[in-house]
A and B are shown apart, each in its own frame.
Chain A
Amino acid sequence: MPDDGRKVSVACTVNGREHTLRVHPLARLLDVLREELHLTGSKEGCGEGECGACSVLINGELVNSCLVPALQVDGARITTIEGIAPAEALHAVQDAFIEAGGAQCGICTPGMIVAAVNLLERVPEPTEEDIRVGLAGNLCRCTGYTKIFEAVVRACRQTRPQVKA
């Protein structure tokens, strides 16, 4: 990393907590989250925006944090997998992933859950096609996606009991 002289101040809110960070302006948000804030839930899969393992929400929008320069999040509200549910509790999507068997090796899981939570926020009653499109940016090599789709449907039913799959 370059010396402190080239660093800039970036103020942002991460999982509800305000931070002022001294970072290189082009540091990847993924590295800032993992190394400066020790939020290691977001994973680096490919580092080139293809796999979605590093997915986070910036102002409610789903992004690959490996492609975001730190400077760009000045003033932004960031949610990582650690902030998806309140401490010690699980989000309905996380519960559903456990019950349906939506996680295997675990590398895609944090990003996949962030993407699924974002999908259900945007589309509370998703169709099969909505689920596929909503998760299309998150690659999974283990599950064959079938149990991940099941988990999203299950989470959707849990939060909205009237929905039929």
Chain B
Amino acid sequence: MLSPEYSSKEFAEACAQHIEKRGPLRASSQYQQPPEIEWDEESYKGDAYGAYGWAVYVAEVTLDTLTCEVCVDDFVAVQEVGKVINPVLAAGQIEGGVAQAIGYALYENVVWQEGRMLNNQLTNYIIPTAMDVPRIRVHFEEVPCAYGPSGAKGLGELPMDGTAPAIVNAIENAVWASLDHLPVLPEHLMELLEVARA
């Protein structure tokens, strides 16, 4: 019904023709785990996931020694995600994840009381604004994954995992102290630095 090069209008017409001739299009498929991926459901041992993404995160921060405010000045993410299918959207996912994790590292303090979140408004649950996020630099390494669609692997979750550690490492490098709490709020840093000075 369609030539290799077709417009969205031609696609819509072809769909309409198909429905008219053969009724609604139904497709079904079932996932079968490739034999190389070993997972024992009984003992919970083996490869929990079929394909892992890999990444390197580098953060450059400025710490104001008077106010103890931390600003992320530069951030580089290098991602190995199999095959990048849509470069703009893929980079957008990484940039968004990094920005959320900047919030996780520096601002987003969940206050619980009796199982409820006390600060459940944007007024008191602070997330990064356009003033708080540097232009995030994303680079991809492509090593197509044998079992992913067109060689792709998942990529959305990873920037939430490595970004906060990169930022905390940068702060630790600046203050020569060990941090064990997120978010790194100015009041925590101030306390830590006062103890260190005393």
Interface on A for B, CB 8 Å cutoff? 45-46, 48, 50-51, 100-101, 104, 131-133, 135-149
A146 near B123: Cβ-Cβ < 8 Å? no
B96 touches A50 (CB 8 A): no
7 contacts between A and B (CB under 8 A): A104-B96, A132-B130, A140-B130, A144-B97, A145-B95, A146-B133, A149-B130
**How many Å lie between the Cα of A133 and that of B87 in the bound state?**
28
Q: Are A139 and B129 in contact (CB under 8 A)?
A: yes
Q: Which residues of A contact B123 (CB under 8 A)?
A: 46, 48, 50
| A-B interface contact total, Cβ < 8 Å | 71
Known contacts A46-B121, A48-B123; is-contact A146 B130 (Cβ 8 Å): no
Contact A100 B88 (CB under 8 A): yes
- Contact digits for B91-110, partner A, Cβ 8 Å, 1 yes 0 no: 11111111110000000000
Specify which of B92, B100, B129 is in contact with A136 (CB 8 Å cutoff).
B129
Mark B residues whose CB is within 8 Å of A.
Answer: 88-89, 91-100, 121-123, 127-131, 133, 135-136
Is B135's CB under 8 angstroms from A149's CB?
yes
Q: How far is the CA of A145 from the CA of B72 in the complex (A)?
A: 14
Interfacial chain A residues near B97, Cβ < 8 Å: 144
Can you list the 8 inter-chain pairs with the closest CB atoms, starting with the nearest?
A: A144-B99, A144-B95, A50-B122, A101-B88, A135-B130, A146-B95, A144-B96, A142-B96
Asked if B122 and A46 sit within 8 Å, CB to CB, the answer is yes
For B136, list chain A residues within 8 Å (CB). 144, 146
Q: What's the minimum C-beta distance from A133 to chain B, rounded to whole angstroms?
A: 7
Complex Cα spacing A146 to B135, Å: 5
Closest to B129 in A: A136
Report the minimum CB–CB distance from A49 to chain B (whole Å).
Answer: 9
CB distance from A22 to the nearest CB of B (A): 32
- In the assembled complex, the CB of B105 is this many whole angstroms from the nearest CB of chain A, namely 14
Residue in A closest to B90 when the chains form the complex, CB atoms: A101
Q: How far is the CA of A147 from the CA of B136 in the complex (A)?
A: 9
Chain B hits for A51, CB < 8 A:
122
Do A101 and B91 touch across chains, with their CB atoms under 8 A apart?
yes
Residue of B99, B129, B131 with most partner-chain A CB within 10 A: B129
Q: Which residue of the partner chain, among B92, B98, B130, contacts A104 with CB atoms under 8 Å?
A: B92
Residues of B within 8 A of A142 (CB): 92, 96
CB < 8 Å: which of A135, A136, A139 contacts B122?
A: A139
Q: Which residues of B contact A45 (CB under 8 A)?
A: 122
Complex alpha-carbon distance, A50 and B121, angstroms: 9
A145 touching B122 in the complex, CB below 8 Å, given contacts A101-B89, A104-B92: no
Shortest beta-carbon distance, A93 to chain B, in Å? Answer: 15
Instruction: Give complex CA distance A163, B147 in Å.
Output: 46
